[in-house]
């Protein structure tokens, strides 16, 4: 309880203005209840319904960011909290912004020699007839570069929103159009046939630690928005059941990817384990992962002996600032 008291007044940021608002509310309310159960003076705050400046006025000592997607996971809220001088959970401004953009993330990982599926980026920002024609022409050439099936996704969205598995060339244009509704850029990615796994990380730098790997089995491989959050059709295995050497390699790779992006506090990487040779491929890094009843970080933490409420308190205790002295003069 003394640790909880040391946290001061805490705001759990949830909701927000992204396409993942509903999931954020589920995550945030779970975190809020958990922190209160541990004796933390925690209060909900929805940035879509209140000015962040109110956090300083109300004497908030630190923030637990349970926002997902844009305006919450992409460095924008983190930057505002830096200016306010209020320590917050998760990665800082730059790491949050880079990890939110799958195109930039893949560039950094490739520069470090970390395995990630091959990809092509399409520009859907020009909605004029000429721009649309250019986009369609560029999309038509993607199967020749990446093969089929392939994955089409918006690079700055999460929760599998706008993601399509394309198995036939004649469905590609529709997949691109769907993705473009979420992002002016469209990421077309090589499909890796195999098992989907995820691995969470707690901490920062050399002391960061990987949690047990979670292996995911979705019906017909459809680990989409609906199956992630609103059905019980997906099977999760933690312990993963993978050979020890494979799990160790996944953890090693995820820690390298996490450090490469400069992440801190906590995060979760999603990967594919290729069936043909068991090689893992990094898909993305989540810097504000879900904390719902279906979420994977609490599942992995539980497997490691860390209960949900203890996990929330541990993450909150790691709250910090990029600049150790912000406008409010507060230190983490």
Mean pLDDT over the full length of the chain? 92
Question: Considering the domain boundaries, does residue 133 fall inside one?
Answer: yes
pLDDT range class, residue 222, cuts 50, 70, 90? low
Question: What average pLDDT does this structure show over 277-283?
Answer: 98
What per-residue confidence (pLDDT) applies to 263?
98
The single residue listed with the structure tokens 């003394």 is 2
Claim to verify: residue 26 and residue 71 sit in the same structural domain: yes
What is each CA distance from 199 to 57, 239, 283, in whole angstroms? 38, 11, 12
Question: What average pLDDT does this structure show over 227-246?
Answer: 82
Claim to verify: residue 104 and residue 228 sit in the same structural domain: yes
Claim to verify: residue 209 and residue 106 sit in the same structural domain: yes
The residues carrying an active-site annotation are 20, 159, 229, 268, 270, 284, 286, 290
For residue 188, the 8-state DSSP code is E
Identify the CATH number of the domain in which residue 168 sits: 3.30.1490.20
Claim to verify: residue 251 and residue 102 sit in the same structural domain: yes
Claim to verify: residue 104 and residue 156 sit in the same structural domain: no
Strands (E), 46-110: 62-65
Identify the CATH number of the domain in which residue 289 sits: 3.30.470.20
pLDDT range class, residue 329, cuts 50, 70, 90? very low
Q: Which helix (H) or strand (E) holds 97?
A: helix 93-100
Q: Is the pLDDT of residue 324 over 80?
A: no
pLDDT range class, residue 20, cuts 50, 70, 90? confident
pLDDT range class, residue 328, cuts 50, 70, 90? very low
Question: What average pLDDT does this structure show over 186-208?
Answer: 96
The domain of 106 spans 98-115+193-314
pLDDT range class, residue 221, cuts 50, 70, 90? low
Question: What average pLDDT does this structure show over 293-321?
Answer: 95
Identify the CATH number of the domain in which residue 73 sits: 3.40.50.20
- Residue 232 or 314, more confident: 314
Question: What average pLDDT does this structure show over 40-65?
Answer: 97
∠304-205-330 over CA atoms, to 5°?
A: 100
Claim to verify: residue 103 and residue 240 sit in the same structural domain: yes
Q: Which helix (H) or strand (E) holds 214?
A: strand 214-217
- Residue 112 or 230, more confident: 112
Claim to verify: residue 103 and residue 247 sit in the same structural domain: yes
What per-residue confidence (pLDDT) applies to 234?
84
Q: Which domain-ending residue is among 190, 213, 228?
A: 190
pTM: 0.91
Residue-wise burial string across 50-72, b where 16 or more C-beta atoms lie within 10 A, e elsewhere:
eebeebbeeebbbbbbbbbbbbb
∠120-219-26 over CA atoms, to 5°?
A: 85
Q: Is the pLDDT of residue 332 over 60?
A: no
Question: What average pLDDT does this structure show over 88-101?
Answer: 97
What per-residue confidence (pLDDT) applies to 57?
95
What per-residue confidence (pLDDT) applies to 239?
95
Counting the structural domains of the chain, the total is: 3
Question: What average pLDDT does this structure show over 281-301?
Answer: 94
Measured CA to CA, the distance from residue 280 to residue 20 in angstroms comes to 27
Claim to verify: residue 175 and residue 283 sit in the same structural domain: no
What per-residue confidence (pLDDT) applies to 218?
80
pLDDT in tens, 126-146: 999 999 999 999 999 999 999
Claim to verify: residue 198 and residue 289 sit in the same structural domain: yes
Question: Considering the domain boundaries, does residue 321 fall inside one?
Answer: no
Question: Considering the domain boundaries, does residue 324 fall inside one?
Answer: no
Residue of 288, 151, 303 whose CA lies nearest to 221: 151
Question: Considering the domain boundaries, does residue 327 fall inside one?
Answer: no
Claim to verify: residue 211 and residue 102 sit in the same structural domain: yes
For residue 268, is the peptide bond before it cis, meaning its omega torsion is within 30 degrees of 0? no
Claim to verify: residue 104 and residue 167 sit in the same structural domain: no
Question: Considering the domain boundaries, does residue 212 fall inside one?
Answer: yes
Claim to verify: residue 208 and residue 300 sit in the same structural domain: yes
Question: What average pLDDT does this structure show over 201-223?
Answer: 88
Measured CA to CA, the distance from residue 259 to residue 252 in angstroms comes to 11
């Amino acid at each position: 309880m003394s640790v909880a008291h040391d946290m001061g007044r805490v705001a759990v940021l949830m909701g927000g203005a992204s396409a993942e608002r509903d999931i954020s509310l589920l995550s945030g309310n779970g975190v809020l209840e958990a922190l209160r159960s541990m004796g933390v003076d925690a209060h909900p705050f929805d940035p879509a319904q209140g000015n962040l400046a109110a956090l300083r006025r109300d004497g908030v000592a630190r923030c637990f960011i349970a926002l997902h997607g844009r305006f919450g996971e992409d460095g924008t809220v983190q930057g505002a909290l830096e200016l306010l001088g209020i320590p917050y959970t998760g990665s800082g401004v730059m790491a949050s912004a880079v990890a939110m953009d799958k195109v930039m993330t893949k560039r950094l990982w490739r520069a470090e020699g970390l395995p990630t599926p091959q990809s092509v980026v399409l520009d859907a920002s020009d909605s004029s007839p000429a721009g649309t024609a250019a986009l369609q022409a560029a999309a038509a050439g993607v199967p020749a570069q990446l093969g089929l099936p392939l994955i089409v996704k918006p690079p700055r969205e999460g929760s599998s929103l706008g993601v399509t598995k394309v198995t036939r060339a004649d469905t590609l244009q529709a997949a691109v159009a769907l993705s473009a509704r979420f992002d002016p850029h469209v990421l077309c990615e090589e499909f890796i046939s195999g098992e989907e796994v995820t691995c969470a990380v707690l901490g920062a730098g050399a002391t960061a630690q990987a949690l047990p790997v979670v292996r995911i089995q979705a019906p017909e491989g459809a680990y989409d928005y609906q199956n992630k959050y609103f059905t019980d059709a997906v099977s999760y295995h933690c312990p993963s059941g993978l050979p020890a050497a494979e799990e160790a390699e996944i953890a090693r790779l995820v820690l390298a990817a996490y450090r490469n992006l400069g992440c801190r506090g906590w995060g979760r990487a999603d990967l594919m384990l290729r069936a043909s040779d068991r090689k893992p491929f990094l898909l993305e890094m989540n810097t504000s992962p879900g904390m719902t009843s279906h979420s994977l970080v609490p599942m992995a933490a539980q497997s490691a002996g860390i209960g949900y409420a203890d996990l929330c308190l541990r993450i909150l205790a790691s709250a910090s600032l990029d600049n150790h002295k912000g406008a409010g003069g507060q230190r983490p």
